[in-house]
Amino acid sequence: MPMSADASGLPPHEAQDLWLALTASQLGAAHQATGLPNQDAVAACHVQPDVLVVAVADGHGHRRHFRSARGSRLAVAVACEAARELAARLDEFEAARQVESEALRHLVPAITGRWREAVHDDVAADPFTAQEQAGRVSGDDALIAYGSTLLLAIAGRRWLVLAQIGDGDIMGIQPDGRPLLPVPADPSLDGQQTTSLCGLRAEDEFRAAVVDTSTTALLAVMLATDGYGNAQAADPWTDAVSADLAELINDRPPEWLADHLPLWASRCASADGSADDTTIALLIAPSATGWRHAAPPEPEAEEATTSAARRLAEPAARPDRQPEGPRKHRPGPRSRRLMVIAAVAVVVIAAAAAFLAVRLSSSSTTPTVCSTPSAGIGEHATASATPAVRPRPGAAGNPCGRG
């Protein structure tokens, strides 16, 4: 099944105070069966050295929106571009309300305006074919053919700006595992219809929220198209998913998460799930990534150490991979860390005792210097990191785009 995955945003270990973005997008089984493309799109990029922007979009499935795959790609591209201005000014704001007001007054109109322009440019460059014209409803604006939702996150050092039109989910994951759902619910989303960038009142139908991460701690933020939520067996699903993700983010390196995100998207998009295109973007907060420099070597891939990880061993593994085995009686990452800390403590105590003994016997001996285990971990994380999208010279001029 065609699948796109991107472990974008895995930065080098010196960039430990940046948000990371992991993304995956999977063609839905229903679309695959009917020959339709993946109508979701996702883009992630750093628009400032310390500001990450992630956009996810879901092109509408109805045949009236026959160019919605293009519409969603245009949506994530213009959203990333429009986010630059606000991203550049994020540090100026003192209160969340100011940021939210700025987002609704300037960012949202910029997105909708540029998306409309981009659609009209696309139609001008590639006019509707006779077949497409035949499928259009009389009076439909060209925008209708490109209809798409949009979910956007701008993650800076302090402010996390979230904006959304249409269905899909934006969920914060708190350190205690509870979900944070800051974007107001839209009562008009009844599971059958959605608001859309192609709607006449798109600007008014955007919802936005701002989280002050200096007072509201977050481990991560997940943006997902409705193919994800509609596939979840749990109802409601946010509590269970958030709790499991918190555990995994604490216990696993980003490489492991990047490796598994496409599998989760794949399960959701399969005929066992929603059968709909499924796109997930997981933004991992800087506060959740400190362990990259302090943790011991990661467990082997088949080692399932948490309840969440055990669930990952359900039959969704890629065919070319061995499924994860049952829980083994081997120490988990946390246990290992404790063991390493205990071992270091023993060495330190022994060294101190030896030092004192030597000092007592001879005052000319220098003390033993104990290195911490973190150096090895840093090496491991850097060596196994997948290609990074990270701030680099000239990055501000780079297009955001993958979709």
Partner 1 sequence: MPGGGVARRPLHFIIMGDCSGSMKGPKMQALNTALRAMLPHLLRWEREQLQAQLLIRILGFATEPHWHVPEPTLVTELNAQWRDLEYVRWGWTNMGPAFEAVAEVLAPERLETRALRPAILLVTDGLPTDPPGGFERGLAALTRHAAGRLSLRLAVAIGRDANSEPLDRFRSRDAPVLIAETIDVIVDRLVAASIAVSRMSEAGADRGALAQQLLQPEVVPGSGLDDDPIL
Distances from the Cα of 365 to the Cαs of 69, 360, 371, in angstroms?
72, 10, 19
Cβ of residue 194: shortest distance to partner 1, in angstroms?
A: 6
Cβ of residue 130: shortest distance to partner 1, in angstroms?
A: 18
Residue 100 vs 276, nearer CB to partner 1? 276
Token digits of residue 210:
């701002």
Out of 314, 321, 325, 375, the residue judged to bind partner 1 by CB under 8 A:
314
Is residue 43 part of the contact set for partner 1 (CB under 8 A)?
no
Token digits of residue 363:
């005052």
Residue 50 vs 203, nearer CB to partner 1? 203
Token digits of residue 140:
């439909």
Helix 68-89 crosses helix 108-125 at what angle (to 10 degrees)? Answer: 140
Is residue 274 part of the contact set for partner 1 (CB under 8 A)?
yes
Contacts of 207 (CB under 8 A, 6+ apart): 163, 164, 165, 183, 184, 186
Sequence letter at residue 332? G
CB–CB of 54/282 below 8 Å? no
Residue 260 vs 390, nearer CB to partner 1? 260
Is residue 258 part of the contact set for partner 1 (CB under 8 A)?
no
Vertex 266 angle, CA 264 and 267, to 5°: 65
Cβ of residue 237: shortest distance to partner 1, in angstroms?
A: 5
Out of 312, 385, 389, 400, the residue judged to bind partner 1 by CB under 8 A:
312
Is residue 185 part of the contact set for partner 1 (CB under 8 A)?
no
Helix 254-269 crosses helix 374-384 at what angle (to 10 degrees)? Answer: 40
Residue 272, classified by CB atoms within 10 Å of its CB into exposed (0-12), middle (13-18) or buried (19+), is middle
Cβ of residue 286: shortest distance to partner 1, in angstroms?
A: 21
Contacts of 124 (CB under 8 A, 6+ apart): none
Cβ of residue 270: shortest distance to partner 1, in angstroms?
A: 7
Is residue 300 part of the contact set for partner 1 (CB under 8 A)?
no
* Near partner 1 in 188-247, by CB under 8 A: 190-196, 198-199, 229-237, 240-241, 244-245
Is residue 124 part of the contact set for partner 1 (CB under 8 A)?
no
Binding region for partner 1 (CB under 8 A) = 29-30, 33, 60-65, 137, 147, 190-196, 198-199, 229-237, 240-241, 244-245, 248, 264, 267-268, 270-276, 308, 311-312, 314, 316
